[in-house]
């Protein structure tokens, strides 16, 4: 038997061990070749009388498998469209359905083959790989802290289509199964066992032996649902117990998704219908929904942005060619306040030594204490050990002496947003840094080129803009000054990759990319409020549009006085026409008259009592001076305003050369400021609608609400030519 992706051996006791170890990949993924190999494994195990059963494990040290290669599913969609043109829709659809359920049928064949299969799992086992484990008759997972299992497909617009919805819903109570499938979270070993997803948790070195022992002990080669007398964990769908679940599940779905995610709705349908059927029919129902969702525009957009583009950016798609890879050993962080302390934490957590500098040792020690708090919180939740905290803290050296930067590969400043303060820090740091080291500024508002002008080595100066809270936010904006060289860019990208963040490379401009889009979102919320749109409606409409939080709530989090400061600075530097006087009036009234600064002083657009939930401040209506009838407002138009203002700013940033790659605009918009993920991001939102339709929508909004919605020249050209952002980018890459 020839296998391309597995090692196969049978021990003296007759137990086969299939070790999944793809030679050309750092992590195992499911491909058509892997599916062929699994089919051969099943045939060999079932037809060879000398084999009692089989254990499937991974040869990769830190992982089992991340699941299916989603580019395979992208290819399936392209094959469908090609076949539809050649042989018609019906033939193409039958091909698409048959191909999209190959994995489901393969796993069912394993499950019913008559020989016991066990999975021995270490590291991550997600998506289609966990569905493989679920089709095995026994599952042992390691207690290693890196081990996770789960079905995260909903996060890229899909759902588990290889039996996941049906097996999970038969292993645990229906409500719990739906929650798991809706959220797509990665589950730790102990939790997976308590949820009945796995049978045993053992030390990493013992998982294969434990799985083999189960086979030798007469492991039953039958899934519970195939055994006579099996009963569903939550009883039948049409039973008193079942009817307590489904109305609530539907309400939860609508509350959490605002009906924007067809894949999650398909989960509801597949589980509801599947639990009323025998397993084989239930799997067929799941496959029909899976084929439908796989062809949805939401899935196409989310797969492209949150899987394909994310992977490409994380692997260095924008890294300059020809610059040797850098291995950072030590990073200096200047400024031990909240941002600097957070940067020090994520750097040390990546195994890199950090020197954390502030004006005195007390301030520097206080910054280090933030890392102590973060790891202690993890220890209290059982996610880390005391030894982990000790090791991380040992990598952070607090200091008040710039001479400590003498052996740093990279120095990042995170000091007060004042050009004079930053210029002084740059000068002191450069005097102590090695000549070949790179200097990065974490500024969120000041142009990088202006800061680089104060540096001795401007070609080694770059912006590295983190988002708060640093330990949770995935995005880092890497900002190119006019003088920045390839070495600085390459090292910055290597650093971002080392700390397990996703970088986007943008050119220098006021607000860079993300903050420009976010600023438009906040402004639109402010203007709606001053028009008389009820504050609660603004917040709810934003969530209905797909944003994680409303603009008023978001402004409270980032601070209202900061928003006012930015408006005033913009006005001082660019003139009165650069700011909206209505927005300025709202912000100045809140901050200077009412003393409402946001969450930080418990008074903003919301009131924040010490106990109980936040509530919208009743005084907002008086500031607005008018209140519109909510029943007379166009909800769809309100949603469009909040999304269009951000997408339009993204389009302008492309025209201005700030963002040069649509992948970065889309990825950055979703993981940086939560732009409606189901759209695929700001530029995918425009491409999905079509530039012509988007320009028409902008013109309609501009006629009603003003010039801020006027489409830029490049968008008008795209509308006339029928071009898309991704089409233009692909053409540019081919020309290069």
434-449 per-position pLDDT tens digit = 999 999 999 887 899 9
Phi and psi, residue 450, nearest 5°: -65, -40
Contact 458, 439 (CB under 8 A): no
Q: Tell whether the model's pLDDT for residue 507 goes beyond 80.
A: yes
Domains, in order of start, for the chain: 6-295 (3.90.226.10), 330-508 (3.40.50.720), 515-730 (1.10.1040.50)
pLDDT for the residue 736: 61
Question: What's the chain's length in residues?
Answer: 736
* Residue-wise burial string across 194-228, b where 16 or more C-beta atoms lie within 10 A, e elsewhere: ebbbbbbbbebeebbebbbbbbeeebebebebeee
Mean pLDDT of 457-477: 96
Residue 334's alpha-carbon distances to 400, 405, 422, 440, 628, in angstroms, are: 9, 10, 10, 10, 49
Asked about 526 being catalytic, the answer comes back as no
User: Are the CB atoms for 592 and 599 separated by under 8 Å?
Assistant: no
The pTM (predicted TM-score) of the whole model is: 0.93
Helix (H) or strand (E) holding 429: helix 419-432
pLDDT-based confidence at residue 466 (cuts at 50, 70, 90): very high
591 CA to centre of own chain:
34
pLDDT > 80? residue 735: no
Residue 637 phi, psi (nearest 5): -65, -40
What number is the average pLDDT over the span 269-280?
Answer: 97
Question: Strand 124-126 and strand 148-150: pairing?
Answer: parallel
Q: What mean pLDDT is reported for the chain? A: 95
pLDDT band at 243 (very low <50, low <70, confident <90, very high): confident
**634 pairs with which residues across the strands?**
none
Q: Flag whether pLDDT at 144 surpasses 80.
A: yes
| pLDDT tens profile 84-101 | 889 998 998 998 899 999
| The pLDDT value given to residue 294 | 92
Q: Quick one: pLDDT band at residue 472, thresholds 50, 70, 90?
A: very high
232 and 224 in contact (C-beta within 8 Å)?
Answer: no
The pLDDT value given to residue 649 = 98
Instruction: Check whether 22 has a pLDDT greater than 90.
Output: yes
Banded pLDDT at 278 (limits 50, 70, 90): very high
pLDDT band at 383 (very low <50, low <70, confident <90, very high): confident
- What are the tens digits of pLDDT across the range 541-563? 999 999 999 999 999 999 999 99
Average pLDDT of span 155-178: 96
Among the listed residues 137, 199, 465, 526, the single catalytic one is 465
Grouping H, G, I as helix, E, B as strand and the rest as coil, residue 205 is helix
What's residue 512's pLDDT? 93
Give 689: exposed, middle or buried? Use CB within 10 Å, 0-12, 13-18, 19+.
middle
Q: What is the CA radius of gyration of the chain?
A: 28
336-355 tens-digit pLDDT: 999 999 999 999 999 999 99
Where do we find the tokens 């094959």?
A: 79
């Amino acid at each position: 038997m020839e296998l391309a992706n597995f090692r196969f051996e049978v021990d003296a006791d007759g137990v086969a061990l299939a070790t999944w170890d793809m030679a050309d990949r750092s992590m195992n993924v499911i491909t058509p070749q892997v599916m062929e190999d699994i089919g051969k494994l099943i045939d060999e195990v079932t037809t060879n009388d000398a084999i009692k059963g089989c254990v499937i494990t991974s040869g990769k040290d830190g992982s089992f498998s991340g699941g299916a290669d989603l580019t395979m599913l992208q290819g399936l969609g392209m094959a469908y469209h090609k076949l539809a043109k050649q042989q018609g829709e019906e033939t193409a659809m039958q091909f698409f359905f048959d191909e999209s359920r190959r994995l489901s049928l393969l796993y069912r064949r394993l499950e019913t083959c008559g020989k016991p299969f066990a999975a021995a799992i270490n590291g991550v086992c997600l998506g289609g790989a966990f569905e493989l484990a679920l089709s095995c008759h026994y599952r042992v997972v390691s207690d290693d802290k890196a081990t996770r299992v789960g079905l995260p497909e909903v996060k890229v617009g899909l759902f588990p289509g290889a039996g996941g919805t049906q097996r999970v819903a038969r292993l645990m109570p229906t409500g719990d199964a739906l929650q798991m499938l809706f959220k797509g979270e990665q589950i730790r070993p102990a939790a997976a066992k308590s949820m009945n997803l796995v049978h045993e948790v053992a030390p990493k070195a013992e998982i294969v032996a434990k799985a083999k022992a189960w086979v030798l002990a007469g492991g039953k080669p039958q899934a519970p649902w195939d055994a006579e007398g099996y009963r569903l964990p939550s009883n039948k769908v049409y039973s008193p117990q079942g009817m307590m679940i489904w109305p609530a599940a539907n309400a939860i779905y609508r509350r959490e998704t605002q009906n924007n995610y067809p894949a999650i709705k398909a989960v509801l349908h597949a589980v509801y219908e599947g639990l009323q059927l025998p397993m084989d029919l239930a799997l067929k129902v799941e496959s029909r929904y899976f084929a439908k969702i796989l062809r949805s525009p939401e899935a196409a957009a989310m797969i492209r942005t949150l899987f394909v583009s994310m992977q490409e950016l994380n692997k260095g798609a924008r890294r300059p060619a020809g610059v040797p890879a850098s291995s950072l050993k030590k990073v200096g962080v200047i400024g031990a306040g909240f941002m600097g302390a957070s940067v020090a934490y994520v750097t040390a957590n990546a195994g890199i030594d950090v020197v954390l500098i502030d004006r005195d040792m007390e301030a520097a020690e206080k910054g280090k204490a933030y890392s102590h708090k973060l790891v202690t919180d993890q220890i209290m939740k059982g996610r880390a050990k005391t030894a982990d905290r000790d090791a991380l803290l040992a990598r952070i050296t607090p200091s008040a002496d710039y001479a400590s930067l003498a052996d740093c590969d990279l120095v990042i400043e995170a000091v007060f947003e004042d050009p004079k303060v930053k210029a002084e820090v740059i000068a002191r740091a450069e005097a102590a840094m090695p000549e070949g080291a790179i200097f990065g500024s974490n500024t969120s508002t000041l142009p990088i080129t202006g800061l680089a002008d104060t540096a001795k080595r401007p070609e080694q100066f770059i912006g590295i803009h983190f988002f708060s809270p640093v330990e949770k936010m995935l995005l880092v904006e890497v900002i190119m000054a006019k003088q920045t060289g390839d070495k600085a860019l390459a090292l910055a990208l290597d650093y971002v990759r080392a700390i397990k963040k996703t970088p986007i490379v943008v050119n220098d401009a006021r607000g860079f990319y993300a903050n420009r889009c976010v600023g438009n979102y906040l402004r639109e919320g402010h203007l709606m409020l001053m028009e008389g749109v009820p504050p609660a409606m603004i917040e709810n409409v934003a969530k209905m549009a797909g944003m994680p939080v409303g603009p008023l709530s978001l402004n409270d989090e980032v601070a209202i006085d900061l928003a006012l400061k930015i408006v005033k600075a913009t006005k001082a530097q660019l003139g009165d026409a650069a700011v909206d006087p209505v927005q300025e009036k709202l912000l100045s009234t809140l901050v200077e008259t009412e003393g409402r600064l946001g969450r930080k002083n418990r008074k903003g657009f919301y009131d924040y009592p010490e106990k109980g939930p936040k509530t919208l401040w009743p005084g907002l209506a008086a500031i607005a001076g008018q209140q519109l009838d909510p029943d007379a407002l166009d909800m769809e138009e309100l949603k469009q305003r909040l999304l269009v203002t951000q997408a339009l700013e993204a389009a302008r940033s492309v025209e201005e050369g700030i963002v040069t790659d649509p992948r970065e605009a889309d990825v950055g918009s979703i993981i940086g400021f939560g732009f409606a993920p189901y759209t695929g991001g700001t530029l995918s939102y425009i491409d999905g609608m079509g530039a012509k339709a988007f320009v028409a929508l902008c013109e309609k909004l501009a006629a009603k609400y003003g010039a801020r919605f006027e489409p830029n020249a490049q968008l008008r050209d795209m509308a006339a030519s029928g071009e898309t952002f991704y089409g233009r980018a692909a053409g540019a890459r081919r020309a290069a």
